[in-house]
Amino acid sequence: MGAANVITGEKYPAPSEAAQKAIEHIDWSGNHGWTDKRDSLTVGQARQGSDDARAAGRSNMDIYGAMVSLGYDEKSLDKLMAIIGAN
C-alpha cells in the first residue's frame, strides 16, 4: 500500500520490500529502547536499519515519518535521529 497527497491526490508507490524490512528493523530496535549509550545493541540495530533504509532509497525524513506513524514520541525520535546521524 502506498501513500497519497491529500491536497493534490497524487499517489505514491508503496515502499519496496527492502525498505519495508529496514523500517521494521528500526521499529524493532525502538521497541527495545533507543538509548543514549553508544555501545548498546539497539544503537547498532537502529544504525543498521537506517543504513538499509537509505540503501533502499529512503531518506532520514522517510525514516522519521515512518516512526511517527508507528506512534513513537518526540523524545524517542530525537534519540533515534541522533543515533543515525540525522541531527
8-50: pLDDT as tens digits: 988 888 889 999 999 999 999 888 667 666 657 788 889 999 9
User: What values do phi and psi take at 22, rounded to 5?
Assistant: -65, -45
In a domain, 36, yes or no: yes
**Spatial CA neighbour of 49 closest among 16, 23, 71, 76:** 23
In a domain, 59, yes or no: yes
In a domain, 7, yes or no: no
In a domain, 9, yes or no: no
What pLDDT, on the 0 to 100 scale, is given for residue 40? 75
Spatial distance between the Cα atoms of 53 and 9, rounded to a whole number of angstroms:
26
Q: What whole-number percentage of the chain has pLDDT above 90?
A: 52
Q: How many domains does the chain have?
A: 1
Whole-model pTM: value is 0.81
Task: List the domain range (segments joined by +) for residue 74.
Answer: 16-83
In a domain, 1, yes or no: no
In a domain, 72, yes or no: yes
What pLDDT, on the 0 to 100 scale, is given for residue 39? 59
What pLDDT, on the 0 to 100 scale, is given for residue 12? 80
In a domain, 71, yes or no: yes
**What nine digits make up the cell of 35?**
538509548
In a domain, 5, yes or no: no
